[in-house]
Each structure stands twice: as C-alpha cells, then as structure tokens.
Amino acid sequence: MAIEVKVPLLPESISDATVSTWHKKAGDSVSRDENIVDLETDKVMLEVPAPASGILKEIVKKEGSTVQAQEVIAVIEEGEARAETTAKSDQKSNSGAAATEQKSEKQDKQSTPKQEQKTTAAAQKQSSNTAELSPSARRAAAEHDVDVSQVNGTGKGGRVTKENVLAARSDETRTDKNATTPSDGARLEKRVPMTRIRARIAERLLEVTQNTAMLTTFNEINMAPVMEVRSRYREKFEKKYNTRLGFMSFFVRAVVEALKRSPVVNASIDGNDIVYHGYFDIGVAVSTERGLVVPVVRNADQLSMAEIEMQIAASAEKARTGKLTLEDMQGGTFTITNGGVFGSLMATPIINAPQCAILGMHKIQERPVVENGEIVIRPMMYVALSYDHRLIDGKDSVLFLVSIKELLEDPTRLLLEV
C-alpha cells in the first residue's frame, strides 16, 4: 500500500519550508520513524520521519523545493524491504567493481613500469576501500560512479558509509557547477544562495540597526576570583553533577542579580508601552554551522549553578544537531553572547529584538592593571552592554555593568545575593 509522506505542521509564524537534505533516495529501504529528510525554515531545522516501513517509491519534492504544511513530498510503498533485492543490488555492484578491476588490469599490462606501479597501487586502494564498504555504500558508489579510493570514511574503523559516498558525489557536483577552467592570473568565484536561516538572521539584524537607538557601554572584569573558585571546585562539581563547570553559569547568575537591581534592562518596548518582565529568561547565544541561534534558559533566577550548566549544555547540543525548536528560542528577556571563545578581545553585540539589551563577553587575557598603586598582571575580560537608548539611559547601562563587575570580582556575593 502506498503511504504519503507529508510536511508536518509548521510552527506558528512560519508559512513554508525548504527541502534541505534527502537522507534516502528513491528505491531505498526505510524504517518507521527513521529520519528521511530535513526541512529548513527561517528559524529551525525540522526532521521528517518515515510514517511506515517500506521502500521509498518516489521523491515528489527535490532538494531546494519550497513546501507548505501537509504538502506531499514523497511516497512510501509499505512493507518490509526484500532481502533478495538488496542481495541482487550488491551482486550487481560487486560485478561492476570486478569488471572495473579486470579492465584496469588489462590496461596495466600495456603501461610503462612506472604507470604500472601507480595503477596497481590505485587498484589495491580501490579494492581495499571496496571491501570496507557497507552494502548500501557499495550500491551508492556503483550508481553514482564514485571512486571510493578518494573518499574518507567516518564509520567505525574508518569504514566508508553511504553518507560519505553521497557527500563525495555532492562535492563533485558542486565543483563541476561552480568551478571555471583556471588560467594564468584567473580569479575564481563561487556563488551560492543564502540558507533560509542565514537570510532570516541578516533580516533581523538589519531591522534592529534600523529600528533601535542602539548604544554600547564597556567595562572590564578581573576574572582571577572566578577562575580561582572554578579551579578549586571544578573536579568536585563535575563529579557530583556530571556536568562541566564553565564561566557561563557565573555570568548568568551575575546577570540575574544585576537585572534585579536594574529592572529597566530586563524590559522591552511594545508600541508606546514599556513591558517590565518579572521573570528572568536568559538567552545564551550558540554558534552553529547554520548560523547563530539563541536558546533560552527559563526562570534562571530559580536554577542552581549545576542546573544552569546542564541546560546550557543540552541546548548547545540540540543547536549543533539542528534539533532546537521555536519554543527553545522564544520569549527571552535578556541575552548573553560570548565572542571570547573565538578570540574576540572587544566587540559591539547587536540587540536580540524585541529585547532591549545584550551582554557581550570576550577573551580573557592577562594585562597589566593598577591595584593599590602597584602595577600587577591580572586575567582581564572586556564586557560590553549594547542597549536600546530609547528605553535605557546611560546611567542604567553603566550601573548594570558595574554590578556585573562587582559580583564576578567577589563571587561570594552571588551566593549571598548582596
């Protein structure tokens, strides 16, 4: 029986999606609930599972197609995959590989000694890689005429998987489409469309710069006290809670206390109204291959350091694997971004609308500073608060950063909330 694969119901405010990557091709076996295709929206990646086990009979919407909710994108012929079909495909693939090797051997006999050595080595490598292929990878290599000796395997023990073969085929196709024949002094270019997520990020950032009176205030923090506490208790902390103790939990706790002292920094503008939020949902920016995303730590004022670290780690993993949902990213009242992990010494972060402020962390670097009239070396970090000047005055922004500085330079105050 034919089963239709449809686009799932899309999150609110998202009208359509783009077919990003098919993980199966027509004729492949699929298992119920196995992810067969990824859909890209303006904000998140959606996985579409197979509604039943069987054979992927037809792909209706190719990669790059724009689709709507409940639109048919593929058809599955229900029923378990037939082992004999796979066996025949493997036999055909092996026969093709054997024929290729025989042809290579015949050509080798007509080659010069050096050519013979090169060809023999290549054939041995090809034979070795073919032996390490999974059945599905072997079929894919035969169908797409991929030289597996040039494919790096990521499977167990370096085994070449079907995904490795298809990725190599995609790379070859992209190269063929985008490359031009080089000549002396030629300057090559490659043009690719923006992903939907990148296009949406660009649109939102432009809106913020055009629709807010954004200003940035800077300060610096001596990170030695936090580093000393972290070094002293990190091993016990990680052993007890089974999660790492990073700097971000210290900053989240410090931000929450500073927001309590400066409620306007935790507010937002709605038309001619100011909305003061009586809760603390802190967004933590995470960089992924698809772009910057901001999962939210809900009710951060009610969480322990360990709970904050665990939520951040879980959100970061979901972001890297494309499993974040809109609910994970909506509703934050304040955002923290850390450019220091990439080596940034100082930068001006852009507000994450509709919020009115964002804190930028930067690289910890030893610098000479003056303490009690003496020059000493301390691990210092510049911090930046970008804010909407329509709502937040310069005094509020300065006092907010001073609170962050005081709390982190004396971490005991975080426990005592003073």
389 is catalytic: yes
Indicate if 328 belongs to the active site. no
Q: Is the dihedral of CA 315, 319, 346, 401 positive or negative?
A: negative
Question: Which residue carries 């910057």 as its tokens?
Answer: 292
In whole angstroms, what is the distance from residue 351 CA to residue 205 CA?
Answer: 8
Show Cβ contacts of residue 144 under 8 Å, excluding neighbours closer than 6 positions: 165, 166, 169
Token pair belonging to 50: 């197979």
Return the DSSP state at 333: S
Dist. CA 400–CA 238, nearest whole Å: 31
Coil, helix or strand for 32? coil
H-run or E-run covering 380: strand 374-388
Are 298 and 281 in contact by the 8 Å Cβ rule? The answer is yes
Q: What is the DSSP letter of 73?
A: E
Instruction: Single out the catalytic residue among 281, 393, 396, 410.
Output: 393
33, 171, 389, 410: which one is catalytic?
389
Helices and strands in the chain, H and E counts? 11, 18
Instruction: Name the pairing type of β-strands 357-371 and 286-288.
Output: unpaired
Cross-strand bridge partners of residue 116: none
By C-alpha distance, which of 85, 70, 105 is closest to 29? 85
β strands within 171-230, DSSP E? 214-222
User: Contact 375/369 with Cβ under 8 angstroms?
Assistant: yes
Q: Report the candidate in 328, 304, 326, 320 with the shortest Cα–Cα distance to residue 252.
A: 304
Select from 319, 327, 352, 354 the least CA-distant residue to 11. Answer: 327
- CA dihedral sign of residues 148, 153, 155, 157: positive
Report how far apart, in Å, the C-alpha atoms of 121 and of each of 130, 144, 149, 159, 392 are: 14, 23, 10, 19, 70
What order of strands is seen across the sheet that includes strand 17-22?
45-49, 35-40, 17-22, 66-67
Chain-centroid distance, C-alpha 167 = 18
Looking at the annotation, which residues are catalytic?
389, 393
